[in-house]
């Protein structure tokens, strides 16, 4: 079996953000921690840490951390059925990839009660809904929220519901570019906002209106920033209806083409052997998502 | 001189997100665009594009794009003094690195008027305030907002003001963990929220209270997600006061230790030879930031 003393040292350095704090948590000297990391690197024949401030795991290091996490879940399950083993229970950490728009809307209220009851700490990784699955495949996360239904080998997927996106802009933007009312066929001529290179929502929205050419856009890889740019009148863009209820009510943002929306289905992918904690989160999320997301058509 | 036909092809593929759209914009066939990219790669002896969907620039490709952008600014300046040269003016694109919290608060209102008047498109890159300067040094961005004052060679820095951070949590979180009122000395024992490995704000806040050990935390690399997690009661964390005026007024979030805040100074770094557009944005930003940020102490 692996030497878990070495792997725990790696986990502590990354989780605590440094050798000094890792040493405190492990009750070791700093040089003992450093020694363990060097020994681990000698065994695997490659660096496991980038010596940055704070230190970050290399790709190999991240795979080892993921393995440590999976072992911890198994230990936790065992500890619940054999309480004598549970000992001083550290909160668990779940590493989950999800799209920025989920994080900006339904995610936190959906998991809050679960995390408080189960003493779980989240490590969230923001990935576009089209690419989160890559993180699962690489074994870097325990679960992910993404737009694809088909699970990777060893995982299961559960339908959560659909996020409804509306094409929004500020009233000033509409007045400047569409003084005679919004003309769908001119939408590709005015500046849009695009989240990042993986974000095809604006393209799909225009394609659904019959426009397949290029268009000019701001790039803004932040859900909150996206809404702020739209509210300030820099461009139009597709925003989850859930995120901007207040802005729509106050009239800070307006729906450019009422009735013309885009629904993006979201699925929860999790490892089959992820332990009872992950299975319990999966049941919890399925119910919470039902209450906020649209049914998948 | 470089062959700008080839460089323009690279810029079009990246900006349009694909060979097909790049060909449309350039008025070429798709195979002609592809040919130009191959020729460029043959000249520089390395790939300039990752053949992903959409295609992304390699590190070398990004440096070439940055050069193209600088040449475009110079052309734009020349076009303004020699109007005959201006021709069919495409909107300019400014690539700027800034911290997520600026993007979630003062940034959009501060630049909106400027972008509309000057027909500028923004390409925003989100980087922690401590590391944005790396993007300047690598020549990947035209300007950045960051916490360090000292400019890189060839650039200038301008003080914008300070972001004030308050330690916030939901009333339910406070009631659960501090039923007898918030005790500063127990803050390290309850779950915090940390933006990412580069975010030392929570550590600095605890250190200012005399706590230098480790603490447990959720990791959430999204400004909006951070506020949502805090509002849902998952943990406490440092949030810009500007971002949560509404939540504080409504009582969704409370200030854990009133009067105990952290001010993070922000500086605007820009290339000295960035052209008139960048100089004009710099003047504009300096004034806008004065109105929303705190004076730097």
The pLDDT tens digits of the residues spanning B83-135 come to: 555 544 556 788 899 999 999 999 999 999 999 888 889 999 998 876 778 88
Query: Are B124 and A218 in contact (CB < 8 Å)?
Result: yes
Report the mean per-residue pLDDT for chain B.
Answer: 87
Taking residue A148's Cβ as centre, other Cβ atoms within 10 Å add up to 17
What was the pLDDT predicted at B80? 64
Count Cβ–Cβ pairs < 8 Å, chain A vs chain B. Answer: 150
pLDDT at B72 over 80: no
| B243 in any annotated domain | yes
Percent pLDDT > 90 in chain B is 50
What was the pLDDT predicted at B82? 61
What was the pLDDT predicted at B273? 76
Dihedral of the alpha carbons of B188, B189, B190, B195, in degrees to the nearest 10: 40
Higher per-residue confidence, B294 vs A73 = B294
Query: Are B122 and A176 in contact (CB < 8 Å)?
Result: no
Query: Are A234 and B122 in contact (CB < 8 Å)?
Result: yes
Nearest CB among A24, A225, A234 relative to B104 is that of A225
What was the pLDDT predicted at B90? 59
Q: How far apart are CA B192 and CA B174, in angstroms?
A: 12
CA distance A145 to chain B (A): 15
Percent pLDDT > 90 in chain A is 50
| A228 in any annotated domain | yes
Q: Is the N-terminal amide bond of B54 cis, ω within 30° of 0?
A: yes
| Domain total in chain A | 2
Mean pLDDT of B35-39: 91
Question: Cα angle vertex A50, ends A49, A54, to 5°?
Answer: 100
Last residue in a domain, options A46, A62, A90: A90
Q: Give the pLDDT band of residue B219 (cuts 50, 70, 90).
A: very high
Taking residue B187's Cβ as centre, other Cβ atoms within 10 Å add up to 22
| A295 in any annotated domain | no
Residue B188 contacts A, CB cutoff 8 Å: no
Last residue in a domain, options A55, A90, A125: A90
Residue A94 contacts B, CB cutoff 8 Å: no
What was the pLDDT predicted at A138? 75
Q: Which of residues 123-152 of A touch B (CB under 8 A)?
A: 123-126
φ, ψ of residue A194 in degrees (nearest 5): -125, 135
CA distance A284 to chain B (A): 16
Mean pLDDT of B217-242: 95
A84 and A172 both lie in a single domain: no
Mean pLDDT of B22-38: 86
Pick the residue from chain B with its C-alpha nearest to A118: B234
* Least confident window among A103-117, A127-141, B7-21: A127-141
Whichever domain contains B248, its CATH number is 3.40.190.10
Residue A46 tokens, joined: 């490659």
Taking residue A186's Cβ as centre, other Cβ atoms within 10 Å add up to 11
| B22 in any annotated domain | yes
Q: Which of residues 163-182 of A touch B (CB under 8 A)?
A: 176
What was the pLDDT predicted at B204? 93
What was the pLDDT predicted at A56? 87
Pick the residue from chain B with its C-alpha nearest to A243: B224
Residues of B in Cβ contact (< 8 Å) with A122 = 218-220, 229, 234
| B128 in any annotated domain | no
CA distance A39 to chain B (A): 24
Nearest CB among B125, B216, B233 relative to A121 is that of B216
Whichever domain contains A15, its CATH number is 1.10.10.10
pLDDT at A272 over 90: no
Query: Residue A133, by phi and psi: left (phi above 0), alpha (psi -120 to 50) or beta?
Result: alpha
pLDDT tens digit sequence for A146-165: 999 999 888 999 999 999 99
Nearest CB among A17, A219, A223 relative to B124 is that of A219
* Nearest residue to A73 (alpha-carbon basis) of A107, A138, A10, A120: A120
CA distances from A232 to B30, B103, B104, B140, B185 (A): 37, 12, 12, 26, 41
pLDDT tens digit sequence for A196-252: 877 889 999 999 999 987 888 999 999 999 999 999 999 999 999 999 999 999 999
| A184 in any annotated domain | yes
pLDDT at A128 over 60: yes
Residues in chain B: 297
| B123 in any annotated domain | no
* Assembly ipTM: 0.73
What was the pLDDT predicted at B141? 85
Mean pLDDT of B276-291: 89
| B137 in any annotated domain | no
Q: How far apart are CA B31 and CA B296, in angstroms?
A: 54
Domain range enclosing B193: 163-264
pLDDT tens digit sequence for B166-185: 999 999 999 999 999 999 99
């Amino acid at each position: 079996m692996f030497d878990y003393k070495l792997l725990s040292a790696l986990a502590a350095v990354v989780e605590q953000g440094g050798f000094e704090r890792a040493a405190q948590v492990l009750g070791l000297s700093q040089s003992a921690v450093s020694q363990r990391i060097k020994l681990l690197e000698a065994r695997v024949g490659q660096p496991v840490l980038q010596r940055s401030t704070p230190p970050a795991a290399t790709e190999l290091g991240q795979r080892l951390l993921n393995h440590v996490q999976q072992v911890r879940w198994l230990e936790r399950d065992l500890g619940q059925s054999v309480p004598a083993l549970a000992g001083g229970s550290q909160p668990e950490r779940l590493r989950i990839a999800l799209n920025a728009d989920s994080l900006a809307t339904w995610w936190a209220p959906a998991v809050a009660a679960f995390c408080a009851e189960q003493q779980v700490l989240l490590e969230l990784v923001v990935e576009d809904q089209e690419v989160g699955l890559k993180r699962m495949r690489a074994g870097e996360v325990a679960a992910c929220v993404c737009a694809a239904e088909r699970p990777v080998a060893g995982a299961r997927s559960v339908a959560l519901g659909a996020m409804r996106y509306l094409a929004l802009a500020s009233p000033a933007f509409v007045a400047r570019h569409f003084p005679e009312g919004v003309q769908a066929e001119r939408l590709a001529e005015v500046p849009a906002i695009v989240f990042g290179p993986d974000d095809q929502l604006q393209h799909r929205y225009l394609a659904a209106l019959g426009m397949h050419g290029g268009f000019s856009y701001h790039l803004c890889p932040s859900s909150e920033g996206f809404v702020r740019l739209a509210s300030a009148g820099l461009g139009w863009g597709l925003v989850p209806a859930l995120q901007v209820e207040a802005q729509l009510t106050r009239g800070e943002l307006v729906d450019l083409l009422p009735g013309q929306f885009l629904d993006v289905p979201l699925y929860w992918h999790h490892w089959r052997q992820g332990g009872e904690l992950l299975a319990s989160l999966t049941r919890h999320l399925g119910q919470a998502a039902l209450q906020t997301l649209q049914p998948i058509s």
